[in-house]
């Protein structure tokens, strides 16, 4: 069984091991695969492993031995899973591996926006405290989170994990969900979208990318938000109209933003959010803690082994 990994580096830059995959077949690992090398490298693969290297219908038709695709991600829009279903080729993803890490980054953004730790630390190191006439100073308004309101757009596993952490900080939690399932925690108040936006001091996005959510954070959406509110996005970059968000930050309509995802990754140099006021952007790292990646690799191994054993698991195109 030939197993080919097309873009292994981001998942494992060297601090984890692929050795146990050798027990499952003949393993070939590529750190990165440019688009013009995909077919050449994948043509003999029985099992193909990919993270962000796209596998389109045209590529699939050039892979005569392909029997299974194992994703190193939860999202699966990078592969033509519908066409693969037609060809009876299962695709497995990695579900629920990064819930805690993503929630941790959301809270990191909220804490940074409310206290500006990085800014104040840098000012101290640049000598401002040493030269200060008083025993303390602050360069921006500082915000106490207790009693503030967090609005969560989407209440899946990550949204609920964020809510739990926010509650521990004394933050009131409200949420918008397209459909109420009846198992929502009692401390989370479910509201219509407009009302949630209007009362929230922080709005955090936790929804999948669908035709309904693509570009939903636009000028109209932002106009309904509380003046000076913070905006957090760790879901998908394209749920946001980036020009509208940059305008809202630059005009002061919003007080700040924390983003781990952008519409194009890596971003174009002219992306308006790169120069927007009080906008913190991390390079899609919510999933990237050591513990989280170790968990991902373990689930990936189990997915491949389950397929070889004839009992594929975590299949998204049944």
Q: What domains sit in the chain, N to C, each tagged with a CATH number? A: 2-97+290-308 (3.40.50.720), 99-281 (3.40.50.720)
Specify the 3-state DSSP secondary structure of 48: strand
pLDDT higher than 90, residue 62? yes
Instruction: Look at residue 178 in the predicted model and tell me its pLDDT.
Output: 87
Q: Token digits for 115?
A: 């206290």
Res. 9: pLDDT tops 90: yes
From the candidates 86, 164, 214, 265, give the one annotated as an active-site residue.
Answer: 265
Q: Choosing from 236, 242, 293, 295, which is the catalytic residue? A: 236
Quickly state the pLDDT bin for 75 (edges 50, 70, 90).
confident
The tokens for 74 are 């939860």
For 46, phi then psi, to 5°, come to -85, -40
Catalytic residue among 41, 120, 284, 305: 284
Ordered strands of the 188-190 beta sheet: 188-190, 172-176, 149-153, 202-205, 229-233, 254-259, 279-281
| Active site annotation includes 236 | yes
Six-digit token pair at 212?
Answer: 């309904």
Smallest CA-to-CA distance from 152 within 235, 210, 42, 218 is with 235
**pLDDT tens digit sequence for 126-165:** 999 999 999 999 999 999 999 999 999 999 999 999 999 9
Whole-Å CA distances, 208 to 17, 141, 187, 235, 289 = 30, 34, 23, 7, 22
Q: How confident is the model at residue 77 (pLDDT cuts 50, 70, 90)?
A: confident
How many CB atoms sit inside 10 A of residue 163's CB?
24
pLDDT at 302 over 90: yes
Residue 227 is a catalytic residue: no
- Residue 284 designated active-site: yes
Please answer whether residues 207 and 234 qualify as being in contact, where contact means their C-beta atoms are separated by less than 8 angstroms: no
């Amino acid at each position: 069984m030939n197993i080919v990994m097309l873009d292994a580096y981001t998942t494992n830059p060297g601090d984890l091991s692929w050795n146990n995959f050798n027990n499952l077949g003949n393993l070939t690992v590529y750190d990165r695969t440019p688009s013009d090398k995909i077919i050449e490298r994948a043509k003999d693969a029985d099992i193909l492993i990919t993270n962000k290297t796209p596998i389109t219908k045209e590529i699939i038709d050039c892979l005569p031995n392909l029997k299974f695709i194992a994703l190193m991600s939860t999202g699966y829009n990078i592969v033509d899973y519908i066409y693969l279903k037609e060809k009876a080729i299962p695709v497995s993803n990695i579900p629920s591996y990064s819930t805690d890490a993503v929630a941790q980054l959301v809270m990191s953004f909220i804490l940074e926006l409310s206290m500006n730790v990085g800014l104040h630390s840098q000012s101290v190191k640049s000598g401002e405290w040493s030269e200060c006439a008083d025993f303390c100073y602050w360069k921006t308004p500082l915000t106490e989170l207790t009693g503030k309101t967090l609005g969560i757009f989407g209440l899946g596993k990550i949204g609920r994990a964020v809510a739990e952490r926010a509650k521990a900080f004394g933050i009131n939690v409200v949420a918008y969900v397209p459909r109420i399932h009846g198992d929502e925690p009692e401390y989370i108040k479910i509201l219509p979208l407009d009302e949630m936006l209007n009362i929230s001091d922080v709005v955090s996005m936790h929804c999948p990318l669908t035709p309904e959510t693509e570009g939903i954070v636009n000028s109209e959406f932002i106009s309904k938000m509380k003046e000076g509110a913070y905006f957090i996005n760790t879901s998908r970059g394209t749920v946001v109209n980036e020009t509208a968000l940059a305008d809202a930050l630059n005009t002061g309509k919003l007080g700040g933003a924390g983003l781990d995802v952008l519409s194009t990754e890596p971003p174009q140099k002219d992306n308006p959010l790169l120069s927007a006021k009080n906008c913190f952007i991390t390079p899609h790292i919510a999933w990237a803690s050591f513990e989280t990646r170790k968990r991902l690799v373990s689930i990936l191994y189990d997915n491949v082994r389950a397929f070889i054993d004839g009992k594929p698991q975590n299949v998204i195109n049944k």
